[in-house]
Structure 1
C-alpha cells in the first residue's frame, strides 16, 4: 500500500516592505492594539493581539509554520479561518506585494473597481475637497525651538492669567464691548473680520502642526479645503495615529483651539487697555473672530472639525463616525423590526449607548445642515445652477442614505415578526400620516395693528417757543379746544413793523389831503396802505394760529417727548397725537397660500403685544384684492423688528418678501366695557379659530406656491 502524501504547505503572499507596525492606544478594557501604517496612502489600520502574532511571524512563509510558531511561543492556535480573513483584509487594502502576471491583473482589476466616475467624484468632493498648497516639514523643523518656547508651561500660564485679567476688565466695560459687535455689519468691519479670520486660522493650523513635530511626526502637507466651495485651511496630521499615548494625540487635536483661545485672551486684554480708536477696533475684531471661531466652530463634534477628533480620542474610539453609524443602524433596526443581529462590534454597554446617541444626534444635525446648505447654494448661485445643486444636496446627501436604509428593511421584510414591536412601528409611521390626512381644526395667527379709525398728528404752524401746554396725555378734548400756546419773536416783530408801517402811511395820507400838487401820489399811497393792512391781517391770523387747537374730538394719545414751556419747536415736529378711541379698526396680513381661509364676516380676537392691553373681538370686513406691494405699517416689518419679513427699496419703501394680502377688520362691541387702547397704534396678532383642514393640502399648496414663485428665470 502506497502511503498518502501530506498536502504541500501553501506559501503566504508576501507583505509590502513599506508597511510599518506601531503599538497603539490600549482598549478601554486594557487589551493592547497595534496599527498597520501604509505610508503611500497615509492610511492606518487597527489590528488586535492575535493578528499581531501572525503578522510578526509572516516571514516564516506558510500558514502552517506561522501557526506552529504562534502555538509554541504564545499558546494561541490560529485556525485557517483566521488566515483567510487576514489575507482577504490585506488584499482588499492593497498591503500585499504584487507578484507575477496574476497579481498585476488582480491589482488592475481592483483599481478598475475602485475607480469612480467623474460625476460621482464631483458629487462626493464638491462638499469637501482638499487642495494641498505647501510641504511645511522643513520650515517646521527649523522653527520648532521657537514654538517650544511658546508651548512651555510658563508662557501658557502667563497668557491664561493675563487673559483672565482682560476678561475681568472687559466685564466691567461689557456694554462698550457688546456694542462693538455692530462694527461687524459695516463693510470695513467685515473686511477686518475676514482678514483677522485668515490670520487666526493660520495660527490655528500651526497650533496643530507644532505639537505633531514635537512628538516626531511628519507633516506632509498644509493647504486649503473647500467646504461647499467655502475655503478653510487644513493641516495633514494623519501620522498622529502612530502615537501610542492618547494624551499625545489630544495635544495635537486641541493645539489649534489652544492657540486661538490664547489669541482671544490676549486680544481681550489689549481691548480693555487701549483707548478708543482704529487700533482698539482692530483688536476687538481679532478677539471676536477668535472667540467665535474657537467656541462656535471648532468644538462642533458632528462634523469632522477639531471637536470630532477630540471626542474620538476622549472616548478612545478611532473612526468614530463609521462605528457610531453602524451601531446606530443596528439599534434602529432592532427597535423598529426586532432584527436579532449581533452588535457590529463588542464593547461595553455604556460605550454602545454613547455611540448610538452620537449617531442619532449627528444624523439630525446633518439633516438640517444639508437642508440649509441646499437652500444656501440655491440662493447664492444663478437660478439654473442653484436648482441643480439644490436637487443634488437633497437627493444625494439626504434622500440617498434614507433610501439605502429602507432598501435593507425591504430586503429583510420576511424576518419581521408579527408582534407588538411591529404594531408600535406601524403606529410610528401611521401617526404622522394621520396628521397629514385627517381633518384637523386650524388656527390663524395673523400679524396685525390696532389703530384709531380717525386720528390726527398736531404740528406747529410755524417755528416758535412753547409758552403754555394746556393738555396732558390721556385728556379728552373736543374739536377746536386749545392744546398749546406758542410764541414767535420773529412774528411779533413783523406784526410790530406792520403796525408802524400802517401808522406811517396813514399820517402821510392825512398830510396829502387838500394838497393838489400831491394828489397824484395819493393813489399810490392808498395802494401801499391797503397792502400794508392786508399783510398785517395775515400776520395777525398767523399769531392766532399759534394757539394750537385740536383738529377733532378724541383723546390726547401722545405728547412730544420732553415738551415744556420755553422749548423751541419747528414745523416738522409732532407736538401731539389726538385720536378718537371710540372708533377702532384692525389691519392684518395674510400670506397667499392661506388666503383661501379668509371667509366673509370671519370672527377672531386681536391680541396686543402689550400685556396690559385687553384682547378685543374683531370681525372681517373686507379683503384687499390686490397684493401688498409696499407695507404701509412699518411696525410689522422685520426692518423695524416686526414679524413680517421685508426689505428696504432704494426709495426707502418697505417691500414684503412674501406675497401678502391686507385684511380689514372691525372691532366689535364687547359684552363688558373695554378700556381705551394704551397707544393709538398697538402691534399684535389676530387669532382666528375656524373650520378644519387637511395638513397635506396645506403642504401641497405651500409647495406649489413656492414652485410658482421661483419658476421665473
Structure 2
C-alpha cells in the first residue's frame, strides 16, 4: 500500500508542472519589429524581460496544477509541435535562471537608484514613497474619474478652445506684449513650469487608478532644462490598451483643466489691466504646451498614446529599422521586409513617413524663424548659421540611432531587459 502511494505521488510530481511566481506581471501581446512578444516584469528585481509567444504560452499555464502533459498537448494544438523532454528542460532552466518559478532561488532586489547629482545633468527624488504619494492624491481627486465630472469638464474644455479661436487676435496681442517684457515672460514661464509638475502627477494618479505602480517622482535636469518627472514602472502591464492610453493622456488633460479658469478671468479684466496680458499669454502658451505634448514623437505623450493604442514596442526605433530595411531592399541588400506581417508594414511605414514629414515641417518653421530673428539682430550671416543649426538638429532626429539589423526571432529565451532605466519599459 505504501509503495503504491509513493509511486502515485512520484508520477504526480513528474506530471504536474512547476508554478510561476504569483507576483510576476505578464503583459499582453506587443509587436517588436516583425516579432510578437510579451513582457514579464519581476517586481522584486524591478526588471522587465521580453519573451516570445511560445514562452508566454507555457509560462501563463505554469500554475502549479496543470500537468506538463496537458500543457504539451495544448502547445501542440496551438503551434503544431509537441514539447519534448529536451525542450521542457531548456525552457524550465531558462525560467528558473531568471528567478521566475516558485521554489527557485529568491531573486536579489536591486538597491533603489540614488538621485544622480551633477553640475550639468542629473536627477533627484522628491518623495521617498512615490506610490504612497500618488495613492493619497488619488483619494483626494478620486471624484474627477466619475462621469458627472468628466463629461462637463470636457464640454468646458471644448468651449474654452472655441473661445480661444474667437478671441485669438486679442490673445495673440497680449502674448506679444508679454514677450517684450522679460519679467512678465519669466512669470508666465514659471507658471507653465509648475503646471508641468502637475502634468506629471496626473500620469501617476491615473496609473494608480488602473493598478499601476509609480516608482519615482522627482526633478531631472540637463542644463539649461529643469523638468519634473513621474516614472510609472508598469505602463505596458496595465490590463487594457484603453487604460494605457488614458494614463499617457492624463498629463495633457490636467494641463487643459488648469487652463479652464484663465479665459473667463481674462475676459473679465479691463483691456489695459497688466494682469490681463499675463493671463492672455498664459492661455496661448499653455495651449501650445499641451499641443506640443500631443505630437507623436518620442518621448512625448502623443507618441506613447499612439504606440500603446497600436500595441507597438519601441515604435519609433522599429519604424527606423523598417525604413532602413526597405531602402536597403531597393538596392538588393539585406533581408528585406518578408518577415513583417501586413499590419506591421502599414503601422511602421505610416509612422516613418508621418514622423519624417512632421519633423521636416517643424524644422522648416524653426529654421525660417531662426533665420529671420538672427538676421534682424545680427545680420544675414548669423541668420544663415542659425537656420543651418536648426536643420542639423532636425536631421539628428531623422537619422537612425542603431544599425538596421535584422530583428531577432522568438522562442530563443527570455530576452534581455527591455530598454530604459531600471524598472521602465519604453514604448
* Structure-2 change in CA distance of 1:141 and 1:59 (3 Å): closer
Q: CA deviation at 1:253?
A: 0.6
Gapped regions of structure 1 (runs ≥ 5)? 1-13, 108-120, 380-389, 410-713
Q: Which residue of 2 aligns with 1:196?
A: 191
Query: Is residue 331 from structure 1 mapped to residue 312 from structure 2 by the alignment?
Result: no
* From 262, 276, 283, the counterpart of 2:279: 283
Question: In 2, Cα distance between the equivalents of 1:167 and 1:368?
Answer: 24
Q: CA deviation at 1:398?
A: 8.2
TM-score w.r.t. the length of structure 1 is 0.41
Q: CA deviation at 1:241?
A: 2.1
* Structure-2 change in CA distance of 1:147 and 1:400 (3 Å): closer
Q: Which residue of 2 aligns with 1:354?
A: 347
Q: CA deviation at 1:320?
A: 1.7
What secondary structure is seen at the aligned counterpart in 1 of 2:125?
strand
Aligned residues of 2:317 and 2:400 also touching (Cα < 8 A): no
Q: CA deviation at 1:310?
A: 0.6
Question: In 2, Cα distance between the equivalents of 1:98 and 1:90?
Answer: 9
Q: Kindly name which structure, 1 or 2, has the bigger radius of gyration based on alpha carbons.
A: 1
Q: Which residue of 2 aligns with 1:315?
A: 310
Aligned residues of 1:90 and 1:96 also touching (Cα < 8 A): yes
Query: Is residue 54 from structure 1 mapped to residue 58 from structure 2 by the alignment?
Result: yes
Q: Which residue of 2 aligns with 1:241?
A: 236
Aligned residues of 1:192 and 1:285 also touching (Cα < 8 A): no
Question: In 2, Cα distance between the equivalents of 1:190 and 1:257?
Answer: 22
Question: In 1, Cα distance between the equivalents of 2:47 and 2:142?
Answer: 28
Q: Which residue of 2 aligns with 1:187?
A: 182
Q: CA deviation at 1:205?
A: 1.2
What secondary structure is seen at the aligned counterpart in 2 of 1:231?
strand
* From 125, 138, 143, the counterpart of 2:137: 143
Q: CA deviation at 1:263?
A: 2.3
Aligned residues of 1:166 and 1:266 also touching (Cα < 8 A): no
* From 146, 150, 162, the counterpart of 1:152: 146
Which one has a larger percent strand, Structure 1 or Structure 2? Answer: 1
Question: In 1, Cα distance between the equivalents of 2:206 and 2:301?
Answer: 14
* Structure-2 change in CA distance of 1:331 and 1:253 (3 Å): same
Which one has a larger percent helix, Structure 1 or Structure 2? Answer: 2
* Structure-2 change in CA distance of 1:346 and 1:38 (3 Å): farther
Question: In 2, Cα distance between the equivalents of 1:286 and 1:399?
Answer: 32
Aligned residues of 1:167 and 1:268 also touching (Cα < 8 A): no
Q: Which residue of 2 aligns with 1:439?
A: none
Query: Is residue 292 from structure 1 mapped to residue 285 from structure 2 by the alignment?
Result: no
Question: In 2, Cα distance between the equivalents of 1:86 and 1:400?
Answer: 41
1:385-414 Cα offsets, whole Å, 9 max, x none, are xxxxx9xx99xx689958956xx89xxxxx
Question: In 2, Cα distance between the equivalents of 1:325 and 1:249?
Answer: 24
Aligned residues of 1:204 and 1:257 also touching (Cα < 8 A): yes
What secondary structure is seen at the aligned counterpart in 1 of 2:313?
coil
Query: Is residue 133 from structure 1 mapped to residue 138 from structure 2 by the alignment?
Result: no
* From 204, 207, 212, the counterpart of 1:212: 207
Q: CA deviation at 1:89?
A: 8.5
Question: In 1, Cα distance between the equivalents of 2:237 and 2:316?
Answer: 20
Aligned residues of 2:42 and 2:48 also touching (Cα < 8 A): yes
Alignment of 1:476-555 (within 5 A): none
Would you say how many aligned residue pairs link Structure 1 and Structure 2? 346
Aligned residues of 2:212 and 2:233 also touching (Cα < 8 A): no
1:508-543 Cα offsets, whole Å, 9 max, x none, are xxxxxxxxxxxxxxxxxxxxxxxxxxxxxxxxxxxx
Q: Which residue of 1 aligns with 2:83?
A: 78
RMSD between aligned alpha carbons?
A: 4.8
Higher relative contact order (CA 8 A, sep 6+): 2
TM-score w.r.t. the length of structure 2 is 0.64
Q: CA deviation at 1:195?
A: 1.2
* Structure-2 change in CA distance of 1:89 and 1:292 (3 Å): farther
Q: CA deviation at 1:311?
A: 0.8
Question: In 2, Cα distance between the equivalents of 1:365 and 1:171?
Answer: 23
Question: In 1, Cα distance between the equivalents of 2:223 and 2:353?
Answer: 23
